[in-house]
Amino acid sequence: MLEIKNLTKRYGNKTAVSDLSMEVRGGELCAFIGHNGAGKTTTLKCVAGILGFDEGEILVGGVSVTDDPILTKKKLAYIPDNPDIYDFMTGSQYLNFIADIFGVEEDVRRENIRRYASALELSEEEIAMQIGSYSHGMKQKLVIISALLHSPDLIILDEPFVGLDPKASHALKEIMRDFCASGGAILFSTHILEVAERLCDKVAIIKEGRLITCGSMEEVKGDASLEEIFLDLEAE
């Protein structure tokens, strides 16, 4: 579903991501971990088509994000670490806006909004409110719902659990599991290694812009905990 080949991204003289290659197949839930400034967000933004890159290739469902960015964006959903969205809209208006852009049928969007809003416990009244009055967690929930409206094949999430209450956090994990069980692929960054260890079947670790390991959870961690492996790799 997602193939990243030799990705290199520079900001001026600084190389944020260097020669990174990895793959996430349909049905896989892949955690992307690394310390602050390692290049996680840059990689995810390149995949989502928000950032251009200097070298390499990114394929979503076999389509290059540089050759046909519109088509690849239709196949994926991106959820950023900081859900800055339109304060001047209500939650409902925002969801309709996103659904319109993706061309989601009215009955499908209604059903999806009900389903995911109910799972994440965002009430009808809250969805009808102005986004300007939302808390961080409510915005995060709204962005997650909006990302799922068009039933994407691939979801890219950057620190998705930040700001979510425990129930919503649990619900999101369930949604992620169900999504992958039905053939979708997920790549998400996180600093919560316990969550990554319990939730994911694949893990990729990035350090100073370079991928230092990527494989199934069992392959990477063996009998140790993910935290131990991560700290060992970081120390090297």
Residues that bind other proteins (CB under 8 A): 45, 48-52, 69-71, 73-74, 78, 80, 82, 84-90, 92-93, 95-106, 109-110, 113-114, 117, 124-125, 127-130, 132-133
Nearer to other proteins, 70 or 235 (CB): 70
Q: What's the min distance (Å) between Cβ of 99 and other proteins?
A: 7
DSSP 164-220: --HHHHHHHHHHHHHHHHTT-EEEEE-S-HHHHHHH-SEEEEEETTEEEEEEEHHHH
- For 119, the token pair is 């799972």
Rg for the chain, CA atoms, rounded: 18
Eight-state DSSP code of residue 51: S
Q: What's the min distance (Å) between Cβ of 201 and other proteins?
A: 26
- For 15, the token pair is 């190389």
Q: What's the min distance (Å) between Cβ of 51 and other proteins?
A: 6
Nearer to other proteins, 159 or 197 (CB): 159
Nearer to other proteins, 114 or 170 (CB): 114
Residues 154, 184 contacting (CB under 8 angstroms): yes
Nearer to other proteins, 129 or 233 (CB): 129
